[in-house]
Amino acid sequence: MIKGRVKGKIWSSRRVDSMPSGALLEIEVEEGGQLIAFDPLGCDTDESVLITQGSVAASYFNGRTAPVDALIIGSIDETKT
């Protein structure tokens, strides 16, 4: 998984039917770069989140086929090193 920070939402009115309804968040990845992740948790801007990618993200949507390859799976509390 990777860590990132929520930068904002994106809207896509014209999209494929299999796209689940829910927020699509723009994420600044801690290691650099940006991606768009589906958010099932209702995260806020600037929140630190944990993201899973690939077919693992799509398998979150049990019993349906969702074209989602990046999913927020948790909000990060703190990091102890």
Site residues for its own copies per CB under 8 A: 1-3, 7-16, 18-19, 24, 26, 30-31, 33-37, 40-41, 45, 50, 52-60, 62, 65-71, 73-81
CA-to-CA separations, 69 to 5, 78, 80, 81, in angstroms, rounded: 17, 25, 29, 29
CB of 26 to its own copies, least distance (A): 6
How long is the chain?
A: 81
CB of 35 to its own copies, least distance (A): 6
CB 76 within 8 A of CB 3: yes
CB of 37 to its own copies, least distance (A): 7
Q: Pseudo-torsion of CA 36, 41, 45, 46, nearest 10°?
A: -90
